[in-house]
Amino acid sequence: MGLNTIRIKKSNGQVVAIKVLDLDTDEDEISDVRKEIALLSTCDSSSITRYHGSILNGSKLWIIMDYAGGGSIRELLKSGPIDERYIAIVAREVLLALVYLHKSVGIIHRDIKAANILLTDSGQVKLCDFGVAGQITTTSARRNSFVGTPYWIAPEIIKRAQYDFKADIWSLGITIIEMATGNPPFADQEPRRALFLIPRTRPPKLEGHFSTSIQEFIAGCLREEPEDRPSSEQLLNFKFIKDAKKGTDSLRELLQRQKQWKIQNNDPDEVSFEAKWVFLS
């Protein structure tokens, strides 16, 4: 891979992340990063990882971004499924990011999943990874390019039909199931098999002892016809979201759980970054 991430500390004490892109790497990867930079440059939301600028260092491009010390929600799932009360908070914050993307800048994220939802050390939620995001213009209200990650991808995209912001709503519903159970539906299938099954089976449901409110929320996100799915704004009014605890401070409890799990399991991913401090002015 030509892309790696380290964290650095600026001279003012602010910690940021740097994506290091080898410019000698695959052209498709460079294209994705350029697209991500272009889109993030237009965004100004606390719910989205902020782009701070780029530095050319020899054949390496340093892309300076917000640093989220808590890691991704996917990483937090290593220590087990996430309780509903935390899922509701994460879902609300992702919806706020989607309202901004869909309404303010006309962007479809196209890759909503737990791995692309980050937590800061204080528990703030940030949506990241815009390498496959697409922009909707006033002259083209729908897209038809095939992008996304198989298990989370909306059926209309798999069918090569035109799609819009509602594709993100489907992916969010799958992500809620992922957080509640540890994996998305069809995770036991090969990606190609999952792509075959998603548009040919009934929308998945959350099985087990879960509240009616989370099941209703998921059912709304996973309506088969895109036009029947609520918008990101409408989903904010669902009971599951309205009953969520205010703020995000309680998500630090998830970070503490993860820290304890890593200690108990000698997780090899728990490494020290002290040797990777770099100081920028």
As given in the structure block, the two tokens for residue 164 are 């819009």
As given in the structure block, the two tokens for residue 146 are 């095939």
| Catalytic residue (one of 32, 66, 111, 164) | 111
The SS3 of residue 240 is: helix
Centroid of chain to Cα 205: 21
- What are the residues whose beta carbons fall under 8 Å from the beta carbon of 253, sequence distance 6 or more? 86
DSSP tag of 154: -
As given in the structure block, the two tokens for residue 194 are 């999952």
Starting at the edge strand found earlier in the chain, the sheet holding 117-119 runs 71-72, 117-119, 125-127
The SS3 of residue 46 is: coil
Is residue 228 part of the annotated active site? The answer reads no
Angle CA 195–202–199, to nearest 5:
30
Residue among 217, 137, 103 at smallest CA distance from 170 = 217
Given a contact cutoff of 8 angstroms between Cβ atoms, the answer to whether 180 and 246 are in contact is no
Looking at the annotation, which residues are catalytic?
A: 111
